[in-house]
Structure 1
Amino acid sequence: MMFPPDTAALRRQRMEQLAATLRLFAELGYDEGAGGHITARDPERPDCFWINPFGMYFGHVRVSDLLLVDADGKVLGGKGRINPAGFVIHSAVHAARPDVICAVHTHSVYGRAFSTLGRLLDPITQDACAFYGDHALFDDYTGVVLDSEEGKRIATALGAGKAAILQNHGLLTVGGSVAEAAWWFVAMERSCQVQLAAEAAGKPILIDHEDAERTREVIGSPGIGRYNFKPLYEGVLRRHPDLLD
């Protein structure tokens, strides 16, 4: 018989996956300076979330380095500062979407490049279909996100989707687990890379609407997101066992 994990075990799982995602993103080159932030909702206090410390290299973050932050931006657990823009974006998304356990936003290269086009991803590959009809465009860039109202506008633009392209800024993905949100970011960044490369070479052939929708129902499901993250997570744990400290 399967029993649901207790609160402490679930918190630990989310924190371990969060720290592992930061290590993975450092390896993939998704970090840049002090920018980028990933959050995981606390299972006992759903109005609070765990976040990486502001200015700490993704590749050094351990579970013990993560910060617990409340809805007002007060650090309740851990030592360090939080990224002001990160708090504005993530607090708005977590408040608007109770179903979201994790939100991911970093300044990845291809996501930023694609975001300058002010458009959604096209269904040109099987992998891109994971986002077909399930991602949004936020086309109201007004500078670094420090205003709570802009955070709310981003959350509104995201709607019920799994991702958003923030025009002239980058990518945002969310999920019902850390694993899902992390995988959607990896998959979306690569889909941006593929579309940029394909359009540089010629005119990509689109997958038709019905086939794209059917494909999304398979590879865009939460279960597939978690399953695709599993080998990445296991690889990071083997390469960086100290992240569990």
Structure 2
Amino acid sequence: MHKYQLDSPKPPIFEQIEAERLHRKQRLAAALRLFARFGLDDGIATTITARDPQLKDHFWVNPLGMSLRNIRVSDLILVNTEGKAIEGDKSANPAVAIHCQIHIARPAVVAVVYAHSVYGKSWSSLGRMLDPITQESCAFYQDHSVFDDSTAVEIESEQGKRIAKTLGEGKAVILRNQAMLTVGHSVDEAAWWFIAMERACQAQLLAEAAGNPVILAHDTARLTYHQVGLHLVGWSNFQSLYQMIVRLQPELLT
């Protein structure tokens, strides 16, 4: 199993705030386009936020009601911790209040991803965490949780605080009967974890429909986690997707 060595590609380090801001916005626009391409754009629910590198209590986000298939860097809006638009002529999804509370609780988190994906919301109805049945699902082993009081459509900051508490220091939380949410130290990482978790949900749903999948032993699952579940691995996995979507849809960068 591949291990990420010291000479592996690493996230860029910026000397200028403007360059880092543009980089995050480009990654955010690309992630939103990829979510549309992968069928993760269910109505207006899909929301991705990216912390501004200078105004750390402000976040870039996709505007409410705009198709993710058409998102450009120039379409992104900047909101404060109350979800109010500070820059941009559109409004944000009220669900951004949940994102803001997670950003507040986790200062190291750069991006938060939330979507009502088909396999994610199907798995969420079981009220269970994912089992380590594949190498990919081990990325979430002992690093995700289930928020089990999502009994109604709530988009208030108080619910965001409860979700942030349930998430803890993990990379993902399954919102029972609703959706999934992932976080990362970069937009790249957070987006990849969501895509990977959606696929892990799909794999386990298929496996359980066919029979009784074998669950990896704790020691094996933990070892695999340290090979596929670290920050750098999440970032690295996103790079080929970014290159692909920019080549196919270069206008997203404008």
TM tier, shorter chain?
A: over 0.9
What is the distance in 1 between the residues matched to 2:13 and 2:118? 42
What is the distance in 2 between the residues matched to 1:166 and 1:3? 34
The share of aligned pairs that are identical, in percent, is: 53
8 Å contact from structure 1 (residues 89, 145) kept in 2:
no
Which residue type is aligned with residue 228 of structure 2?
Answer: I
Which residue type is aligned with residue 177 of structure 1?
Answer: S
What is the distance in 1 between the residues matched to 2:110 and 2:232? 15
**What pairs with 1:33-72 in structure 2 (closer than 5 Å)?**
33-72=43-82
8 Å contact from structure 2 (residues 191, 238) kept in 1:
yes
State which of 211, 221, 242 in structure 2 corresponds to 1:233. 242
State which of 122, 127, 130 in structure 2 corresponds to 1:113. 122
What is the distance in 1 between the residues matched to 2:200 and 2:77? 31
Whether 2:18 is the aligned partner of 1:8: answer yes
Deviation per residue, 1:99-144 (Å, 9 max, x gap):
1000000111000000000000000000000000000110001311
8 Å contact from structure 1 (residues 138, 166) kept in 2:
yes
State which of 27, 34, 45 in structure 1 corresponds to 2:37. 27
What is the distance in 1 between the residues matched to 2:121 and 2:84? 30
Which residue type is aligned with residue 252 of structure 2?
Answer: L
Q: Give the TM-score normalised by the residue count of structure 1.
A: 0.97
Residue number in structure 2 paired with 1:83: 93
- Give the 3-state SS of the residue equivalent to 2:112 in structure 1: strand
What is the distance in 1 between the residues matched to 2:14 and 2:76? 24
What is the distance in 2 between the residues matched to 1:98 and 1:244? 27
CA RMSD of aligned residues (A): 1.0
Residue number in structure 1 paired with 2:181: 172
Whether 2:210 is the aligned partner of 1:191: answer no
- Give the 3-state SS of the residue equivalent to 2:24 in structure 1: helix
- Name structure 1 gaps, 5 residues minimum: none
8 Å contact from structure 1 (residues 105, 171) kept in 2:
yes
Whether 2:219 is the aligned partner of 1:204: answer no
What is the distance in 1 between the residues matched to 2:68 and 2:38? 11
Which residue type is aligned with residue 246 of structure 2?
Answer: L
What is the distance in 2 between the residues matched to 1:24 and 1:238? 12
Deviation per residue, 1:11-39 (Å, 9 max, x gap):
00100000000000001000112221000
Residue number in structure 1 paired with 2:146: 137
8 Å contact from structure 1 (residues 41, 49) kept in 2:
yes
